Chain A
Amino acid sequence: MVNPLSSPRAVSRTDGVVATTPTPPPALEVGGLTVAYGEKPVVFSVDMAVAQGTMTAIVGPNGAGKSTLLKAVLGLVKPLSGEVRLFGLPLSRARDRVAYVPQRASVDWDFPACVIDVVLMGLHRELGLLRRLRPEHLARARACLARVGMEDFASRQIGQLSGGQQQRVFLARALAQSADLYLLDEPFAGVDAATEKAIIAVLKDLRAEGRTIVAVHHDLSTIRAYFEHMFLINMRAIAAGPVAEVFTSSNLQRAYGGRLGEAQVAGMQAADAAS
């Protein structure tokens, strides 16, 4: 028998049965988060919890605060109030468990770098300021490129890539970080169908490895096929939970207001069910 006193934190007892696996802390937990640009709140008093090993879409209309929510989680914008914990820890102690894939349009792709240079940025924590770049680092960066189907583009200048290819390079850079939580801002925006397929396959692989995925997503027609959980937001949190429960016309109506007719939602759900 396990002596419960030997490791009191790791062992919990229910009905006399010793359970050796306590519930892990959520990969991402947000409490009362409010972010404002100037006077105008963009995210208002949002609570959110994402369990480890799940795949969640953050969904809402344009300007609903989806990207801002991600940025606040990552400490890129300073919230007015609220708390963020990652794996039960404050951001400063959980940084190396988190990888961020920004919107593709947020950087200047004319920067003088080739594909492998960008992927190597994901290894910065290991390389640090002055450590030498070794063959194994290059090999790992190449393996990450292979995972997104870009191994043949390693020495291509990043400005010469298509939008979809650029998005895949960003994903490869995040893969190089070998994080436990992946936060992606619109990973499917403006990419070709082949890229969309490649990205979703990688994300599902990551989930199968027990990693957690949170992605800002705005294509309502693919939510069911891609994600298992969704978080509906329009400045305030509208609904959260399994897609099957949250993806309802009344919830979407509340998030999108008059911009999304009931007929459209019904049509989308039908198309979704058929696919």
Chain B
Amino acid sequence: MGAEFVALSLSPLLIGVLAAVTCALPGNFLLLRRQALIGDAISHVVLPGIVVAFLLTGRVAALPMMLGAAGAALVSVILIEAVRRTARIEAGAAMGVIFTTLFAAGVLLLEQSDTSGVHLDVEHALYGNLESLIWLDATGWSSLLDPMALAGLPPELPRMAGALVIVALAIAAMWRPLAIATFDEGFAATLGLPVRAIGLALVMLAALAAVAAFDAVGSIIVIAMFICPPAAARMMTDRLLPQVMWSVGFAILSAVLGYVLAGYGPLWLGFANSVSAAGMIATVSGLILGATMLFGPCRRRAGIAA
């Protein structure tokens, strides 16, 4: 299966894994801060962001779309904060209001604009196009050492890898303040830690992860990976660093298992076509969460001590 695997499956598989891990890392802290929905919000508002970028530039290119998505993410974070403060709406509700409104506006924009000729639609936004990120220049495993063939890798792969490096390094660098501010913000502030900047930095990292992952794998995976692997990891351990490690493991497992099941599962069951890899990856991550809820060693919550 060597040559065929390298050309058709290696690249989407790697992109899926990178996207899953990039989203799961900040997801751990968002979950502990009860901000898990912010990942949901960001990944939805990415749609109006890229539509606006497309309308302004008139073409589907990576850079303007990334900038448009990042801009939309920033706008949504500001709007959520504004709604929460001025309307005194609870944070989760404020996020729900903003991201559904902006996503709906994005759908309307998309319908009104002339995007029929380009690959830009709501379905793409939701499921991504993981299966299409193939590596046509590959002829086998040896292509990994061939600079000519490597140049033909889908650009999503290095982009996603770069996002992962940035997110991982940033979280490692601010690990201690981030952990303290997440557990006890008041105490963190008395230490002189910039708690607001820390919170904003985390949201920006989440936005980076969502925007980078969105184009390759769609918002379904982004939302699932922000929440499912960290939540499942919490059931496996009672300490923060192991939780983050478990979440990375679950993210990788979801991506690999989901990709394989989407490609071959239906064939094994006798169906003719494979199913959406993004949908299957998200489904697998949900099933993993379900399994850890039933069998995880640390699923008891506080106050129900044995």
Contacts and interface: CB of A to CB of B under 8 A. Distances in A.
Interface of A: 71, 74-76, 92, 95, 98-100, 102, 106-114, 117-118, 121, 124-125, 127-130, 157, 159-160, 173
Most buried by B among A76, A100, A102, A111: A111
A112 B237 contact: yes
Contact of B186 (A102, A112, A114, A130): A102
A249 B298 CA distance: 52
A121 B184 contact: yes
Interface of B: 32, 173-174, 176-177, 179-180, 182-184, 186-187, 189-193, 234, 237-240, 242-243, 298, 301-303, 305
Contact of B234 (A107, A112, A117, A125): A112
Contacts of A173: 187
Contact of A98 (B190, B242, B302): B190
Contacts of B192: 92, 95
A106 B184 contact: yes
Most buried by A among B183, B240, B303, B305: B183
B183 A129 contact: no
Contacts of B182: 111
Given A98-B190, A112-B240, A159 B302 contact: yes
A157 B190 CA distance: 24
B188 to A, nearest CB: 8
A23 B176 CA distance: 39
A112 B305 contact: no
Given A110-B301, A129-B174, A117 B239 contact: yes
A208 B189 CA distance: 28
Given A112-B240, A129-B177, 16 more contacts: A75-B189, A75-B190, A95-B191, A95-B192, A100-B186, A100-B190, A102-B187, A111-B32, A111-B182, A111-B183, A113-B183, A113-B239, A127-B176, A130-B173, A157-B238, A160-B302
B238 A102 contact: no
Contacts of B301: 110, 159
Given A75-B190, A100-B190, A159 B184 contact: no
A6 to B, nearest CB: 36
A110 B237 CA distance: 12
Contacts of A125: 191
A178 B37 CA distance: 39
Contact of A107 (B183, B242, B243): B183
Contacts of A128: 176
A118 B183 contact: yes
A98 B174 CA distance: 23
Contacts of A113: 179, 183, 238-240
Contacts of A121: 179-180, 183-184, 187
A98 B186 CA distance: 13
Most buried by A among B179, B238, B242, B301: B238
A95 B239 contact: no
Given A129-B177, A130-B173, A160-B302, A112 B187 contact: no
